[in-house]
Homo-oligomer: A and B are copies of this chain.
Amino acid sequence: MFQISASYTDLYQLTMAQVYFKTKPESEAVFDYYFRKNPFDGGYAIFAGLGNILEILEYLRFTKEDIEYLKIHGFEADFLEYLQKFRFRGTVRSSKEGDIVFPNRPILQVEGNIMEVQIVETVLLNILNFQTLIATKASRIRHSAGNKVLLDMGLRRAHATGGYFATRAAAIGGFDSTSNVKAAEDFNIPGSGTMAHSFIQSYEDELQAFRDFARIRNKNCVLLVDTYNTLKSGVPNAITVAKEMEKSGEQLYGVRLDSGDLAYLAKETRKLLDHAGLDFVKIVASNQLDEYVIKSLEEQHAPIDIFGVGTNLVTGKPDAALGGVYKLSEFNGEPRIKLSENIIKISLPSKKQVFRLIDENGMFYGADAIGLVSEENILKMFHPFDVTKNLELEKFQKEPLLQKVMEKGKALIPKQSVSEIAEFSRKRLALLPEEFKRFQNPHTYKIGLSEQLKTLRDQLVLDRAQ
């Protein structure tokens, strides 16, 4: 749907690129993408957006209009000529899309000409931060909803066209379907929808509105029952229509509750439906749902079959953003770090590999080990700051998480469907022990450094501190 031009970036990327162009245009750099804190005070995140990034990077260009526009910022002619021919020809090593990821370890690494890797920073952060946020939110809602059906219906409250990518990420995080037609079409996500209050209001009579809708709707018929009075009018009228449908060999698919006390109304609605012999009619609930409300509804055994989630899903409330960063870790083959007053914010130098430790039961052990990419194996890992803590790694399987997915600007992996990514994510999440998934004070997924990486990092810190 959206053609993203290379000018979808921050102006300072171009200002810096011009300086590189004039002083060291052949320089090579390595940047790490990672975040510092799990979203929603949770115990993990779901990495999403990689597929879009690979497509965007392959086709990224400045348009003629972009180049013309940049003249007013005083860029020089030779640099503008460079931009006109700009292509991204770098290498990307990445975690798999849909994988479970954690703070303060590289999730993706970009390597290539300094100007190229700098210019793509913004779009990369823009797409990965947002989709990772939403996929994680979706995953939390899925955790509360168990096997119930989850429907994304947030487009009207989404951040303009960001809603398109929200739907993609929601599907990766575990949503079954979406109301967003364009995203459903482009990403091959099941589409779904019910009816609006205005439809019923357009009739003098709720029953007639239901009858017309049931007769002419395209697919599964869901009737919205709370326009006037849920239990006195909406549900009884829906039952009348359901019985009429039965006579012509059809089945009413469901009724939707969109206001009031959902637990109470769902229970009363279920009773009325069952009493009418309509135990197959599903109950859809919506209205400001999130992982906490759904958890509460489940704990109350509200007989809801389908949850429709909007605002809280697509805006990633309350966080609204994932603070993913893109930090220089190598420049012309030399390791680089970013210091900080806050020790946890000191970055890790050089090209790295992240190993996920798998325990004897095949489950995620609860820690990742990070080493230099040149290290074939890591036998022992060390706490990043606490010198008293280390762990022998012999007994673990070690799964390398970062794989080359793009080389010289060409994607190396086939384009994955959203459902494939979602399926992979589900399988990976099943390997994560429950204590990392709970909402209250989840367990911290730890990190350890190889001796070589720790020594290098410590040496660079000392060098800079002098």
Contact = CB atoms under 8 A, between A and B. Distances in A.
Given A2-B2, A202-B29, A340-B259, A179 B331 contact: no
Which of A3, A126, A129, A155 neighbours the largest number of chain B CB atoms within 10 Å of its CB?
Answer: A126
A255 to B, nearest CB: 14
A183 to B, nearest CB: 9
A94 interface: no
A464 interface: yes
Given A118-B198, A185-B66, A202-B331, A4 B161 contact: yes
A363 interface: no
Interface residues of A, number: 101
Interface in A310-367: 311, 315-318, 320-323, 326-328, 331, 336-341
A8 B160 CA distance: 11
A452 interface: no
Contacts of A316: 159, 320
A126 B340 contact: no
A156 interface: yes
Contacts of A336: 201-202
A12 B196 contact: yes
A259 B341 contact: yes
Contact of A161 (B160, B193, B212): B160
Interface in A9-64: 9-16, 18-20, 22-23, 27, 29, 31
Given A11-B184, A126-B163, A338-B197, A328 B202 contact: yes
Contacts of A162: 158-163
A278 interface: no
Interface stretch (A215-223, A371-379, A428-436, A439-447): A215-223
Contact of A181 (B8, B20, B179): B8
Contacts of A11: 179-181, 184, 191-193
Nearest to A311: B321
B161 A122 contact: no
A15 B193 contact: yes
A69 interface: yes
User: What number of copies of this chain does the assembly contain?
Assistant: 2
Which of A66, A161, A199 neighbours the largest number of chain B CB atoms within 10 Å of its CB?
Answer: A161
A462 interface: no
Given A18-B216, A179-B12, A195-B15, A161 B158 contact: no
Given A195-B15, A341-B260, A160 B164 contact: yes
A199 B16 contact: yes
Contacts of A328: 197-198, 201-202
Interface in A171-206: 179-182, 184-185, 191-199, 201-202
A7 B164 CA distance: 11
Contacts of A76: 218
Contacts of A85: none
A74 interface: yes
Contact of A130 (B31, B114, B160, B317): B160
A244 interface: no
Contacts of A259: 340-341
Contacts of A9: 155, 181-182
A160 B199 contact: no
Contacts of A15: 193, 195, 217-219
A382 interface: no
Which of A29, A31, A202, A321 neighbours the largest number of chain B CB atoms within 10 Å of its CB?
Answer: A202
Q: Which 5 A-B pairs have the closest CB atoms?
A: A162-B162, A159-B162, A12-B193, A159-B159, A11-B193
Given A10-B179, A159-B165, A228-B339, 7 more contacts: A8-B155, A8-B161, A12-B194, A158-B162, A201-B337, A315-B315, A317-B321
17 contacts: A1-B2, A1-B3, A8-B180, A9-B182, A11-B181, A15-B218, A18-B218, A19-B217, A22-B212, A129-B156, A157-B321, A197-B327, A198-B328, A259-B340, A315-B315, A315-B321, A317-B320
Interface of A: 1-5, 7-16, 18-20, 22-23, 27, 29, 31, 65-66, 69-70, 73-76, 114, 118, 121-122, 125-127, 129-131, 153, 155-166, 179-182, 184-185, 191-199, 201-202, 212-213, 216-219, 227-228, 259-260, 311, 315-318, 320-323, 326-328, 331, 336-341, 464
